[in-house]
Amino acid sequence: MVAALSLLLTSNLATAKPRHCRKDCKQDIGHCRALVPTNADCAGTKAERRACRTMHAAQGRACHGLVKLCKQTNPNGSGMCLLPSTTTTVVTTTSTSTTTTSTTILGCGMFVTAWGTYGTGVGQFNYPFGVAVDLNGNVFVTDALNHRIQKFTNDGTFVRAWGGMGSDSGQFMLPYFLAVDRTGNVFVGDTGNYRIQKFDNDGTFLTAWGTKGAATGNFLYPAGIATDSSGNVFVADPTDARVQMFDNDGTYLVTLSSEGTGPFYEPYGLAVDGEGSVFVADSLASHIFKFSNTGSLLTQWGSESTLPGNFVNPEGLSVDAEGNLFVVDAGNNRIEKFDNDGMFVSVWGSLGSAPGQFRGAMDVAVDADSNVFVADELNDRIQKFACP
């Protein structure tokens, strides 16, 4: 006789039993909202109270997003409502054995493959930090402590590598984040040399810009990089609390925000959608900002928490072809997916070294087929997931 037991594994959320989805969706909203602080808990200055209320509203939207997706997944109420948890562990026991499997819900985050081990050889990594994908599906990785860039096919087959430790053109000192534009050019944040380097798709050096400093066009810590459809390049500088915009060859255009005159504390990850909207992950504030292509703040969400839709030190960002945003929630060892307006969609991952688990995940990239690549830094590997 086979018995199956479904357990909901959550962090700060109380364990809940599976229920028929449409029947009890209102109960799910109530359960989720009960864990969200009320606006009465907001204190401080007027600006601080406003920010507090904004974050509470974002948490409320996350609750609604969970229930909405549950309804879409189970339109006839035939499925089981597993909200607001993110992972289901099914333990199946027979007379001879016990099998435990873990899966994520809502279809996103299905493990496909992984590659890489610790080392200096081709296809090996020492601190894989950034990951990016070009329009042909090639995957580029910053191998930070090996001071090089590695290029792979979509399934992880090694193509080529370039770099080496140094400060000459084409050399690196701790390359962290990187981005690929629509024409295949590769932009690398050469963090230890306080500059951005531009290469063609095969690693031929093209140009570089930036030196150490707080003046426009320079950097104190070049971190997240993103490009828009026009080829403009955005660079986050967490030490200087700003995001700078350059043209494709490195000419400074504008600063999105800076400490004392804008909302950032420690901007790390960047992504730009097809409409030119810019997403910024403020790691220290555990917050996501969305700006228009003219620099106007459109929306923001998130606070430091393990609740769905929140973060502990968000790092890398990526946007898919439909405008959905993927966030590396580094402190929670997971990937979160949101729609273009910040509505929570799904989440997967936990601490560990098994497939689908992470240790120090830092960056994420999504290809044209909605495959998601994660730089699993301390496991010295790249993981690939499907997100239909």
Q: Give pTM, 2 decimals.
A: 0.75
Give the pLDDT confidence score for residue 280 in this predicted structure.
Answer: 96
Calculate mean pLDDT across residues 338-349: 96
**Alpha-carbon gap, residue 222 to 246, rounded angstroms:** 13
**Alpha-carbon gap, residue 160 to 269, rounded angstroms:** 26
Give the pLDDT confidence score for residue 45 in this predicted structure.
Answer: 75
Give the pLDDT confidence score for residue 51 in this predicted structure.
Answer: 57
Tokens of 336: 């979160």
> In sequence order, what are the residues at sequence separation of 6 or more whose Cβ sits closer than 8 angstroms to the Cβ of residue 136?
184
Calculate mean pLDDT across residues 6-18: 29
pLDDT band at 256 (very low <50, low <70, confident <90, very high): confident
Calculate mean pLDDT across residues 57-76: 49
Say yes or no to pLDDT of 64 above 60. Answer: no
Give the pLDDT confidence score for residue 284 in this predicted structure.
Answer: 92
Give the pLDDT confidence score for residue 388 in this predicted structure.
Answer: 81
**Alpha-carbon gap, residue 215 to 177, rounded angstroms:** 21
Give the pLDDT confidence score for residue 112 in this predicted structure.
Answer: 96
pLDDT band at 294 (very low <50, low <70, confident <90, very high): confident
CB distance 198 to 185 below 8 Å = yes
Say yes or no to pLDDT of 105 above 50. Answer: no
Give the pLDDT confidence score for residue 39 in this predicted structure.
Answer: 63
35-44, 107-116, 125-134, 294-303: lowest mean pLDDT where? 35-44
Say yes or no to pLDDT of 275 above 90. Answer: yes
Question: pLDDT digits over 108-135, tens only?
Answer: 899 999 999 999 999 999 999 999 999 9
Give the pLDDT confidence score for residue 251 in this predicted structure.
Answer: 98
* pLDDT more than 90, % of the chain: 68
Give the pLDDT confidence score for residue 268 in this predicted structure.
Answer: 95
pLDDT band at 149 (very low <50, low <70, confident <90, very high): very high
Whole-number mean pLDDT of the chain? 81
| Phi, psi at 130, each rounded to 5° | -110, 150
Alpha carbon 309 to chain centroid, angstroms: 12
Give the pLDDT confidence score for residue 86 in this predicted structure.
Answer: 37
**Alpha-carbon gap, residue 122 to 287, rounded angstroms:** 36
